[in-house]
Structure 1
Amino acid sequence: MTLAAVAHRRLKLDGYEVFYREAGAADAPVILLPHGYPCSSYEFRALMPALSDRWRLLAPDFPGCGYSDTPAGFAYDFDGYAAFLARFLDRLGVDRFALYLHDFGSQIGLRLAIARPEAVTAVIIQNGDIYEDAFGPKYEGLFDILRRPEAEARAALAQAVTEEEFKAEFLNDVRPELADLIPPDLWTLHWALMTPRRKAITVDVLAGLQQNLDWFPRYQAYLRDHRPPALILWGPQDGYMPEASARAYLRDLPDAELHLLDGGHWLLEVQLEQVVRRMRPFLERTLGRRANA
């Protein structure tokens, strides 16, 4: 298989510029790739060409992230990001899509799915948690901060938004030989893009994680009620989202296909071949392919 090129595009949306990556034919079934924290569409740079022979992959940078603008007046919270994804898809004329759910992009993607359940053709779930009772031990430190008085909590969160903490987020408990496979470009690139305004936005988003817990039953109800075809690919070497976080999805998606791979939170950096090997037959069964592929 010859890997196709990934196009790097920009469009205007509501007066601000959005950067996004696109691969695959315009008439192919769409896979939407919302990114996580502290990242951007860069996390999908290797996955996209590996699937673009049969599917169209779209990976936008959220406003305030990556190479997109940081517009004033944008709602920098999970509702705002979900509304952004809807507007982005409308702008490109996409009305049906599969969702790749990773990190906080999983919860943003699920808010989009709740708003447009008829549009979602399938979900690929990769280290994105929606079950509070299956949290890993690293969450305790974060929620300890969030339980403090607001001013004190926000000050502590601001101190945690550093290049060193970005590095820790990307390495996140994987074994040393796997950590060597994770490129330092991930934290150096994304820290270089972190302006004072973006740092303040990051603190706002992190401070809102406590309120996001209230949405967890709604995410679960969407999966339980709509039962989208689901593939769960998980790196259990993840201090936030261990194996239990993956298995928790089976409560609401008992027919989901689950694979635990040798990796952690940023699975695409260390197990790309294994991810693609499992995604391709799943996508063939659920999305089909471009007619002439």
Structure 2
Amino acid sequence: MRHRTTQVGAIQTFYREAGADDAPVLLLPHGYPGSSFVYRHLLAALGDRWRLIAPDLPGFGYSATPAPEEFGYTFDAYADFLYDFVNTLELNRYAIWLHDYGSQFGLRLAMREPDRVACLIIQNGDIYEDEFGPKYDGLRELWANPGAESRRGIAAHVSLEGFRDEFAGELPDHVADRIPPDLWTLHWSLMGTPERMANLVRLLEDQPSTLPWFERQQAYLREHQPPTLIVWGPHDGYMPEGSARAYHRDLPDAELHLFDGGHWLLETHLDEVAPVVRDFLNRVHPPSRRGAPGPDPV
């Protein structure tokens, strides 16, 4: 695994990378409240055959935090940043991992240049509003009444306890102790500046802007039918099992695997998820024979 920085426009951007430079690419945009750290185990598990690239988005992790006048901290701004990132690294073809907010950024990247997309892997990233879980109920109330009071309600979740709830909420007891406290303590320590916290509130406030995109994203899936693997943890207050199954409306051939976990499967069920992903990528996004290593590990 390598830890690198690059300039994406004026933004110094940290990213983690594993695998050979000429291996097929798996792009890993992260969501809220994470960073490239959430993909560390996946990079180690699949870097023998694929080139995995996980950036820290602006204002997250170890990347720079530009002023709001220089970067918008909206879903549009992050989608544009991801496009600029892949072009900076000269990535011409890639699989995209779609998780949490990263599913919005990744899907917009896919829609922008569909021919560059080898396949999609969807892990608890939802685009079907009618299948929203109960944890969205409080957000809907805030969305329906934007303004200062709503902003205070959103800001209340930008806290150590709020981060802990995002990482460890809704999990049954036999799974909850697999979530390391490093997730919320590390990410809170990295987020804990007034500038970063304010920028994160801006992004959370902008989430209603994603709703009109859902229909367009569903249309993209119906039209282009990218090879798709769905790996999902149904113990998710935002995205229960129905959110995963809804993808079959537009991708009837997508492979769906449900695991006894929640929103952060790579922390709790990596040993089960990684072989499924490996099998899928070997079939639809394989390394070239010249660059491929020996037999897959058992």
Task: Place the TM-score, normalised by the shorter chain, in its bin.
Answer: over 0.9
AA in 2 matched with 1:42: F
- The answer on 1:7 being equivalent to 2:2 is yes
- The answer on 1:67 being equivalent to 2:65 is no
- Larger mean Cα displacement after TM superposition, 78-87 or 91-100: 78-87
Alignment partners' CA distance in 1, 2:87 and 2:258: 34
Aligned to 1:157: 154
Give the Å deviation of 1:243.
0.2
Give the Å deviation of 1:151.
1.5
- The answer on 1:292 being equivalent to 2:287 is no
Match of 1:261 among 236, 259, 262: 259
Secondary structure of the residue aligned to 1:28 is: coil
Match of 1:53 among 48, 55, 62: 48
Aligned to 1:120: 117
Aligned to 2:186: 189
Q: Structure 1: which 5+ residue stretches go unaligned? A: 1-5
Aligned to 2:209: 211
**RMSD between aligned alpha carbons?**
0.9
Aligned to 1:87: 84
Aligned to 1:239: 237
Give the Å deviation of 1:133.
0.2
Q: Percent identity?
A: 58
Give the Å deviation of 1:60.
0.1
Q: Structure 2: which 5+ residue stretches go unaligned? A: 293-298
- Larger mean Cα displacement after TM superposition, 144-153 or 21-30: 144-153
Alignment partners' CA distance in 1, 2:172 and 2:212: 33
Secondary structure of the residue aligned to 2:97 is: strand
AA in 1 matched with 2:137: E
Secondary structure of the residue aligned to 1:12 is: strand
AA in 1 matched with 2:200: T
AA in 1 matched with 2:221: L
Secondary structure of the residue aligned to 1:45 is: helix
AA in 1 matched with 2:113: R
Aligned to 2:138: 141
Alignment partners' CA distance in 2, 1:122 and 1:151: 41
- The answer on 1:277 being equivalent to 2:275 is yes
Secondary structure of the residue aligned to 2:122 is: strand
TM-score, structure 1 as length reference: 0.96
Secondary structure of the residue aligned to 2:73 is: coil
Alpha carbons 2:22, 2:291 under 8 Å: kept: no
TM-score, structure 2 as length reference: 0.95
Instruction: Kindly tell me the number of residue pairs found equivalent between the two proteins.
Output: 288
- The answer on 1:168 being equivalent to 2:165 is yes
Match of 2:105 among 77, 95, 108: 108
Match of 2:24 among 9, 24, 29: 29
Give the Å deviation of 1:177.
2.1
- Larger mean Cα displacement after TM superposition, 267-276 or 86-95: 86-95
Alignment partners' CA distance in 2, 1:143 and 1:203: 16
Alignment partners' CA distance in 2, 1:83 and 1:288: 28
Aligned to 1:3: none
Match of 1:76 among 73, 77, 90: 73
Give the Å deviation of 1:16.
2.4
